[in-house]
Amino acid sequence: MAACRPLAEHREVKLRDRTLHSVPARGDAKRLAQVLNHLLVNAIKFTHADGEITVDSTAEGEPELIISDTGVGIAADDLPHVFDRFYRCAAAEVMAAQGPGLGLAIVKSIIDAHHGSVHLESEPGMGTTVRLTLPR
C-alpha cells in the first residue's frame, strides 16, 4: 500500500488502511502484492480528487481483503466484463485513464491461481468495492 501513497497524494485522494492486523493467507507474497497494487492503482485512477479509498480486512473464516473507493463506479452492463482481458469500460474513456485493460484480468488470474476468489460490486457515481478471499 505504501507504494501507492505518492500517486494517491498526487491525485489528492485519501488512502486509508483500516486493517487492524495482518491476515494469514497462503500464497506468493510478490504476486499478492501485485494484486493489491493493481487494485489500488485502479481505485486511484477512477476516484476524483477529495475522494477516498479504504482497505479493510477480516481474519475470521477465510482471509478477506476489501478495497472500497468513492470513485466513478462501473455501469451494470460493464460488470460482467471487467475481468476480461483488454476490456475497458466507458468510465475509462471518460476519465482518460491510460492502460490496455489488463489489470483486473491479471488480478483474477493471480487470485484464481491461489484458489481464492475476487468479487466486484459497483454502482455508477457511488464507487466500487472489491473483495478478495484467499485460503488459509
pLDDT in tens, 115-136: 999 999 999 999 999 999 988 7
Q: What is the pLDDT of residue 1?
A: 80
Quote the cell numbers at residue 68. 472500497
15-19, 36-40, 62-66, range with the lowest pLDDT = 62-66
Q: How many domains does the chain have?
A: 1
Mean pLDDT of the chain: 88
Cα–Cα distance between 68 and 128 in angstroms, integer? Answer: 6
The answer to whether residues 123 and 130 touch, using CB atoms and an 8 Å cutoff, is: no
Q: What is the pLDDT of residue 82?
A: 85
Mean pLDDT over 25-51 rounds to 92
What are the φ and ψ backbone dihedral angles of 18, each rounded to 5 degrees? -105, 20
- pLDDT band of residue 24 (cuts 50, 70, 90) is confident
Q: Which domain holds residue 83?
A: 2-133
d(CA 87, CA 95): 15
> Within its chain, how far is the Cα of 78 from the centroid?
16
Compute the distance between CA of residue 89 and CA of residue 82 in angstroms, rounded to an integer.
Answer: 7
pTM assigned to the model: 0.89
Provide the pLDDT for residue 16.
Answer: 95
The pLDDT tens digits for 70-111 are 999 998 998 888 888 877 776 665 555 666 667 889 999 999
Residue 90: the pLDDT is: 67
Residue 57 contacts residue 69 (beta carbons within 8 Å):
no
Please give the single-letter amino acid code of residue 114: H
The Cβ of residue 99 has, within 10 Å, a number of other Cβ atoms equal to: 12
CA distance 5 to 17: 11
Q: Give percent of the chain with pLDDT exceeding 70.
A: 91
**18-27, 57-66, 74-83 — which is least confidently predicted?**
18-27
Q: Are 102 and 84 in contact (CB under 8 A)?
A: no
CATH code of the domain in which 69 resides:
3.30.565.10
Q: Quote the CA–CA distance of 6 and 27 in Å, as a whole number.
A: 27
